[in-house]
Amino acid sequence: MCAETLNIFPSQPMHVEPPSNYKGGGGGISLASPSSSGSKKSNSEQAMELASSKKDPPTAIKKEGINRRGTTGADHQEVGPKTPDPKILRRLAQNREAARKSRLRKKAYIQQLETSRIKLTQLEQELQRARSQGLVYGGGALLGDQGFPAGAGGISSDAASIFDVEYGRWVEEHHRLMMELRAAVQEHPPENRLRMFVDSCVAHYDQMMSLKHMVIKTDVFHLLSGTWLTPAERCFMWMGGFRPSDLLKMPLSHIEPLTEQQLLAVCGLQQSTQEAEEALSQGHDALNQSLLDAITADALNCTSDVANYFGQMAVAMNKLTALEGFIRQADNLRQQTLHRLYQILTTRQMARCLLAIAEYFHRLRALSSLWVARPRQE
C-alpha cells in the first residue's frame, strides 16, 4: 500500500473528546474518554455523588457554627453547676415536711368538724323532740329521763376534744419553731434573716389566738377551766390564758441591756397592761355575781312555773354571752401586748425574749410532769 493509504489507518487509536455540553440525538453515539470509561460508574451513581457534594458544604458550615458557639478550647472551659447550700436544702426539706403535716392536720380537722356537726344536728333534733313532748321541772332533772347536763356535756366534750388535739399540735410546732430560732440566734445571721424567724414565732402565737376564738363560741367553760393546760400552768392562768403583764417582766432580766427609751416604753406598756387586766378582772367578778343573782332568784320557790324558770335561764344565758366577750378581750390583750413589745425591742432582743417565754412555759410543763411522777406515800 502507499503511504497515503496507510495514514487512513493509524497505528494508535484516535482520541475524540466530545464537548461537555454535547448531547447526542436520538440513536446518536456518545464518545467517552478512556478515563471515564475505565471508572465504569453509571449515571445514577454520578448523580448521587453530585447531590452529596452539594449537601456537604451546609453541613460543614453548621458544624463550624456549632464549634464557634460551643468552644472546647482550654481558654473556654465550661463551668459545672454549683453545689446547693446544705442549709438551703435542709430548710426546703423542712418546709416540705411542714406542708405535708399541715395538709394532714387540715384533713383530720375537717373530718372532726364534720363528725361534730353530725352529732350537733342529732342533739338539736333530740332537744327539739323533747321540747315538743314537754319539759319536766324539778328535782334538778330536765328534758325527761336523759337530763339536760348530759346533752350539754356531749356538745362540750366534742368541742373540747377538738381543741385539745389542735393545741397539742400547736405545742409541737411551737417547740420546732423555738429550736430553729435558738439555732439562728447562736449563728448570728443578718437581721433580715433573723426577722423571718421572729415573725414566724409571733404569727404562731396569733394562730393560737385564732384557735381559741373558734372554740369560745362553742365551749367557753373549757377555756376557763384550763383542763387543756398542765397543772402547773393552771396555777398561773388568768381568764383562759397567761397574764400579759408576766411577759413584760422577762425583757428586763433575760435580754441584753435596754436603752433608756426602751426601758421607759416597756414600763409604760406594763402599767397600761396591768390596768387593763384589773379592769377585765373587776368586770369578770361583777359578771359572776350578776350570774349568781340571776340563777338563785326564786330558787326555793316551788310554785314557780315553767315560763318564769325559762325567763330566768334566758337572763343567765345572756350573761354567759357577756362572759365570752371577756375571754375575747383577754386574748386580744395578750396578742396586742406581744405585738407592742415587738415594736419596742430590736429583732435580736425580741428573739431572746421569745426564747425566754418559751423556756418559762417549758419549765412549767416539766414541773407538772415531775409532780405527777412523784413518789406517793399511802
Cβ contacts of 136 within 8 Å, gap of 6 or more:
142, 143, 144
Domains held by the chain: number: 1
At 259, is the secondary structure helix, strand, or coil?
A: coil
Residue at 261 is within a domain: yes
Alpha helices in 85-219 (DSSP H): 86-133, 148-187, 191-216
pLDDT value at position 277?
A: 95
> pLDDT above 70 covers what percent of the chain?
65
Q: What is the pLDDT of residues 226-269, one digit of tens each?
A: 888 998 999 989 998 989 998 888 767 777 788 999 989 999 99
Residue-range definition of the domain harbouring residue 217: 135-369
Residue at 268 is within a domain: yes
Inter-residue contact 156 to 215 (CB < 8 Å): no
Residue at 121 is within a domain: no
Residue at 244 is within a domain: yes
Closest C-alpha among 277, 270, 263 to residue 247: 270
Q: Is the dihedral of CA 166, 172, 173, 174 positive or negative?
A: positive
Most confident of 52-61, 303-312, 365-374: 365-374
Residue at 378 is within a domain: no
Residue at 123 is within a domain: no
Q: What is the pLDDT of residues 264-295, one digit of tens each?
A: 999 999 999 999 999 999 999 999 888 888 77
Most confident of 77-81, 91-95, 196-200, 231-235: 196-200
Residue at 299 is within a domain: yes
**135 vs 301 pLDDT, higher one:** 301
Residue at 49 is within a domain: no
**167 vs 4 pLDDT, higher one:** 167
Most confident of 32-46, 209-223, 330-344: 330-344
pLDDT value at position 134?
A: 44
Q: What is the rounded average pLDDT of the residues 203-212? A: 92
Closest C-alpha among 191, 206, 208 to residue 345: 191
pLDDT value at position 13?
A: 53
pLDDT value at position 75?
A: 46
Inter-residue contact 148 to 142 (CB < 8 Å): yes
Length of the chain equals: 378
Supply 373's cell numbers: 411522777
pLDDT value at position 55?
A: 46
